[in-house]
Chains A and B, each alone.
Chain A
Amino acid sequence: MTEKRKREVVFMPGNIVVAEAAIAAGCRFFAGYPITPSSEIAHTMSERMPQLGGKFIQMEDEIAAMGAIIGASLTGLKVMTATSGPGFSLKQENIGFAAMIEAPCVVVNVMRGGPSTGLPTAIGQSDVMQARWGTHGDRPVIALTPAYLDEVYTETVRAFNLAEKYRTPVFLLLDEVLGHLSERVEIPFADELEIIDRHRPDMNKREYFPFDSSKEEVPPLADYYTGYRYHATGLNHDHTGFPTTDPALCQRENQRLMDKVEHHLDELVKYEEFMLGDAEIGVIAFGSTARAARVAVSNAREKGIKVGLLRPITLWPFPEKACLKLAEHCPKGIIVAEANLGQIIFEVERHARNGIPVVGVQKVGGVPIYPAEILTKIEELSAC
């Protein structure tokens, strides 16, 4: 008789879940800088990395932490850094560099109140547009917004997989509530997790070009010191990695970067639909706000209101098709609940072009959005 395996069950805060999931995904290099409310990720990595033969380094600032993980990524390691709003702002230039040289890396942003120093110990979700547009130039963006800690675990692993597969930085966007709340989490077995590693070249070293997509859409990335000596630069470059100012080449290469995401929306877009079947009102929320939204939707349903929740799990690329479908089926309108003064609502407005009301439940000030606040908005729309 085969015994059903029992997963290990832990009760731990979200930040620690991120660290443990990163380790399970194969992360063996962490560089960071202390910043509330993400520091527990660094604390855990500082303890666990050396025990696993990995590396932990606290760098002198956020910019250096981003640089260090990119460097380490090129030696073949799976790498991660963790920060919050102000650090995320500082990292933008090097994030663009990682996107430009296509270095796999995971950047965790445990969002807090902003702008500027904001509310270091309180919830915020106001970096979501920055995740999309923060660094200058056009580059692909993958940003994940889990809402429950077991999902934090699996989405962290997914972040590493996507970084490796698409040779790009991937953002894992949490917030202070999710980072600090503790929840029961079942840790998946190792064989339950799909782990993806970057493609490495296996060819004549004289013929290796690090940005050559002629044979594979995402070019294989050689580890440093394995005999493939290539050049990578933040300057616009061609398939060889050397700088170019040829307008056609620059256009082609920039577009190729964008296509890495644009051509794979089916795989990248991920969301949860809750009670959307016959919904006349839609609610869109992500991260810890979605937890409140889900409760509000359940409460509204008990009152007989036909409402449902669309919860992006991949925030970028934004679930455009699902949003468009929601707009088509919800004549009474869409509520976008986010802990900021309106960011994702612009994406929703862009897709709901049929004139339905798109309203926000927007709260800054460091207190989570309560289910009652979303319920009130649902009732308002329902009464129209």
Chain B
Amino acid sequence: MPSEEQEQPTRVATNEEGADKAEHIVSTTNSSQQITVVVYEHYCKGCEICCDVCPKEVLEMVVASDRWEGALVKVVNIDNCNGCMLCEYECPDFAIEVFSAKKEAKKKEK
């Protein structure tokens, strides 16, 4: 049930303990401009789950010695991506997101 408050709830202050890593966001869009995969590299812990669940070989782990597990995900084949969202759903770390124009349109319809 939506509450009576119309405006967005104000984000309350928190300490800045977690804000010590430099942001590095890599955004890759496919040729038809319909799908974008965004990797928040500063959040990626190199667990490789996204690579394993991707059915289309869009992603690959690359060696990154400054990462937790020594690896980092890279989008290597964006045109293969069908926007299934599995990488986003199965990533534990908010490190990868999929933007699909088709899905956005569907959502707006609702």
Contacts and interface: CB of A to CB of B under 8 A. Distances in A.
Direct contact of A and B (CB under 8 A): yes
A interface residue count range (under 10 / 10 to 19 / 20 to 34 / 35 or more): 10 to 19
A238 B16 CA distance: 12
Interface of B: 9-15, 17
Contact of A227 (B9, B14, B17): B9
A231 B17 CA distance: 14
Nearest to B15: A240
A5 interface: no
A132 to B, nearest CB: 33
B20 to A, nearest CB: 14
B13 A208 contact: yes
B32 to A, nearest CB: 41
B10 A240 contact: no
A4 interface: no
24 contacts: A205-B10, A205-B12, A206-B10, A206-B11, A206-B12, A206-B13, A207-B13, A208-B12, A208-B13, A209-B13, A227-B9, A227-B10, A228-B12, A229-B9, A229-B12, A230-B12, A231-B14, A238-B15, A240-B13, A240-B14, A240-B15, A242-B14, A242-B15, A242-B17
A206 B12 CA distance: 4
A228 B9 CA distance: 10
Nearest to A228: B12
B51 to A, nearest CB: 33
A229 B9 CA distance: 10
Contacts of A242: 14-15, 17
Contacts of B10: 205-206, 227
A208 B11 CA distance: 11
A283 to B, nearest CB: 53
Nearest to B12: A229
A206 to B, nearest CB: 5
Interface in A211-247: 227-231, 238, 240, 242
A253 to B, nearest CB: 14
Nearest to A209: B13
Contacts of B14: 231, 240, 242
Contacts of A206: 10-13
Nearest to A229: B12
A206 B11 CA distance: 6
Given A206-B13, A240-B13, 12 more contacts: A206-B10, A206-B11, A208-B12, A227-B10, A228-B12, A229-B9, A231-B14, A240-B14, A240-B15, A242-B14, A242-B15, A242-B17
